[in-house]
Amino acid sequence: MRKTKQISNVSQMLSMYLKELMRLPKDKRVSTTEFAKKFNVHPSTVTEHFQRLSRLNLLNYVKYRGAHLTQEGIHQGELLMWKHRILEVFFMEFLGLSKEDACSEATKIDFFISSNVIKLLCKKMNHPRVCPCGFEIASTYCEEKS
Amino acid sequence: MRKTKQISNVSQMLSMYLKELMRLPKDKRVSTTEFAKKFNVHPSTVTEHFQRLSRLNLLNYVKYRGAHLTQEGIHQGELLMWKHRILEVFFMEFLGLSKEDACSEATKIDFFISSNVIKLLCKKMNHPRVCPCGFEIASTYCEEKS
DNA sequence: AGAAAATTTGGGGAAACCCAAAATTTTATA
DNA sequence: TATAAAATTTTGGGTTTCCCCAAATTTTCT
């Protein structure tokens, strides 16, 4: 009954957490201070966000022990990263941005842009399999019929 | 000393007000109830936002008498509309979206996307002079050297 | 075991939204 | 031109999201 391809109730900030989480090894648990440094924020703030992600069933968070993404969290994180990376490819290949600029520009809008636009962009870019940073682009959301 | 091409302290919501204001005749003063209907919000909410825009010197707002954009407001509104329309053109011509979809997709990201990306997009689209809806695209921000 | 380090809790604060009811001003009409 | 009706603003609340700090708790290290 539930749609799978939607980010439910995730704020922009939470989406940033989700994306960062996706870049980390999925087996290891992440600590709050580790994250606090990345986001230039106090540890207690991270705790708060982890708890929120946990309430949304996106993060498996155990007090004092760190956290890792749930299946659902990975799923939503993959959607975000797919958007992010397709945008990166587009910004580099079509607009000629540098790798760094492509990433920062993608970061500004990946949360807001629709799946449909990304899907069309993906097609136009010939369904890239890797992003400019060398990371693989998960094909879960790409509907290539090759 | 002041940079001219930046949206200063305008929230996404205020940017929506700015864009809507840009679509209205600039000589006439707009009433709060008029706006309230457009945004499906109570009149008092509009008053609040008008006051805020006024504090930012973007809106000339006189109690009980309505409001109209200041020079600065028009300037910032033009930047937003430029982004919006270039995106519309891109979405229609490059991705093949309908006029309506192009508009709604542009609305989702125009506030967040950088001027630089839009500038490159503008060039790729050959510096369009009108958007899909037939509106003229102000060239203030377009650096075409034709 | 006990001290040090990491983490969470609880209490607050600011900003951006929104609404409802009361007060005020404008307008329209009798 | 009064006065009633309509429009607008004020006031007072309420919510959410984000952030910090200090104190309490738990884990880790020696």
User: All domains of chain A, ordered by start, with CATH?
Assistant: 12-69 (1.10.10.10), 78-124 (1.10.60)
For an interface test with B, the pick among A109, A116, A119, A124 (most B C-beta atoms closer than 10 Å) comes out as: A109
- Contact, A66 CB vs strand C, < 7 Å: yes
Strand partners, B41: none
- Beta carbon of A28 within 7 Å of strand C? no
Q: Do A114 and B91 touch (CB under 8 A)?
A: no
Q: What are phi and psi of B18, to 5 degrees?
A: -60, -45
Residues of chain B in contact with residue A114, where contact means CB-CB under 8 angstroms, are 105, 108
CA–CA dist A70, A111 (Å, integer): 20
Task: Return the bridge partners of A59, or none.
Answer: A69
The structure's pTM equals: 0.91
Q: Rounded to an integer, what distance in angstroms lies between the CA atom of residue A131 and that of residue A73?
A: 21
| Full pLDDT tens readout for chain A, 146 residues | 333 445 578 999 999 999 999 999 988 899 999 999 999 999 999 999 999 999 999 999 999 999 999 999 999 999 999 999 999 999 999 999 999 999 999 999 999 999 999 999 999 999 999 887 788 898 788 876 54
Contact A108 B114 (CB under 8 A): yes
Q: What are phi and psi of B71, to 5 degrees?
A: -55, -50
